[in-house]
Amino acid sequence: MAEKKETPTTKKAATPKPTTTPKVEEVKKVVSKKEPNTKTLKENESVLVSKPTTSKKTTTKKEGEKVKEEIKPVENKKTTTKKATEATPKKTNETPVKEKKPAIKVDDKTIIKENKALDKEVAPKTTQVPLEASKNASKPKKQKIIKEVVQKEEVIEEPTLFDVPETKTTDVLVPFNDKGIDPLKVGKVKKQPKEKPPKPEDLVKRYNPEVTIGLTQDDVEDRVNANMVNYTKVGSTKSIGAILANNLLSFFNLLMVGIFVWQITVGANFMNLLFIIPVIFNIAFGLIQEINAKKTIDKLSILNAPVVHVLRDSEEQEITLSEIVIDDIILLSNGKQVPADCVVRNGMVEVNESLLTGESDAIIKRAGDILYSGSYIVSGYCQAQTTAVGKDIYINSLTEQAKVYKKPKSSLLSSIRILMVVIGVIIVPIGVFLFLSMYGGDTFIEKGTLNYAQTVIKVSGALVGMIPAGLILLTSISLSVGVIRLSQNKTLVQELYCIEMLARVDTLCLDKTGTITDGTMTVRGIIEYNNPTKLNIKQIIPAMINAQQDNNVTTAALIERFGTAKRITHSNIIPFSSSRKFSAVQFEKYGSFVIGAPEYVIKENYEIIARDVEKQALEGYRVIVVGYSPGAIIDNQKIEGKVIPLALIMIEDTIRADAIQTIQYFKDSNVDIRVISGDNPITASRVAARAGIKDADKFISLEGLSEKEVIRAAERYTVFGRVSPQQKKTLIQALKAQGRTVAMTGDGVNDILALREADCSIAMASGSEAATNVSHLVLLNSNFSSMPKVVSEGRRVINNVQKAATLFITKTLFSVVLSIIGIIKGYYPIETSQLLMIEYFIIAIPTFLISFESNDTHVKGNFLWNVIKKSLPGALVVAINSLIVYAFQDALNMDNYATSTLIVLAATFTCLGVLFNVCKPFNTLRKWLFAVAAIACLIASIAMPNLFNFRPFFDFPGYSGTEASIPLETPQILLLFCLIQAAYPLMYIISTIPTWIKNGVSWLLKKIGSME
Is there a contact between 319 and 307 (Cβ–Cβ < 8 Å)? yes
Is there a contact between 940 and 947 (Cβ–Cβ < 8 Å)? yes
Is there a contact between 374 and 343 (Cβ–Cβ < 8 Å)? no
Q: CA angle 383-388-390, nearest 5°? A: 115
Orientation of helix 725-737 relative to helix 707-716, angle to 10° = 60
- Catalytic residue check, 668: no
User: For the chain, first and last CA: distance in Å?
Assistant: 92
Following CA atoms 628, 633, 636, 642 in sequence, which dihedral angle do they give, to the nearest 10 degrees?
-50
Q: What is the DSSP-derived secondary structure letter of residue 514?
A: I
Distance separating alpha carbons of residues 412 and 418, to the nearest angstrom: 10
Q: Sort strands 699-701 and 644-655 into parallel, antiparallel or unpaired.
A: unpaired
Distance separating alpha carbons of residues 22 and 40, to the nearest angstrom: 6
What single letter denotes the amino acid at residue 221? E
Q: What is the DSSP-derived secondary structure letter of residue 386?
A: E
Distance separating alpha carbons of residues 830 and 457, to the nearest angstrom: 9
Following CA atoms 397, 398, 399, 402 in sequence, which dihedral angle do they give, to the nearest 10 degrees?
-130
- 557's enclosing H/E stretch is helix 553-562
Is there a contact between 508 and 671 (Cβ–Cβ < 8 Å)? yes
Is there a contact between 916 and 984 (Cβ–Cβ < 8 Å)? yes
Please state whether 112 falls in left (phi above 0), alpha (psi between -120 and 50) or beta.
Answer: alpha
- 652's enclosing H/E stretch is strand 644-655
Provide, for the chain, the percentages of residues in helix, strand and coil under a 3-state DSSP scheme, each rounded to the nearest 5. Answer: 45, 15, 40
Q: Is 481 helix (H, G, I), strand (E, B) or coil?
A: helix
Give 928's contacts (C-beta < 8 A, 6+ positions apart).
Answer: none
Instruction: Give the largest Cα separation in the chain, rounded.
Output: 118
Is there a contact between 333 and 381 (Cβ–Cβ < 8 Å)? yes
Residue 821, classified by CB atoms within 10 Å of its CB into exposed (0-12), middle (13-18) or buried (19+), is middle
Q: Among 107, 163, 369, 511, which one carries the catalytic annotation?
A: 511
Distance separating alpha carbons of residues 145 and 473, to the nearest angstrom: 58
What single letter denotes the amino acid at residue 110? T
Distance separating alpha carbons of residues 957 and 57, to the nearest angstrom: 108
**Which residue numbers are catalytic?**
511
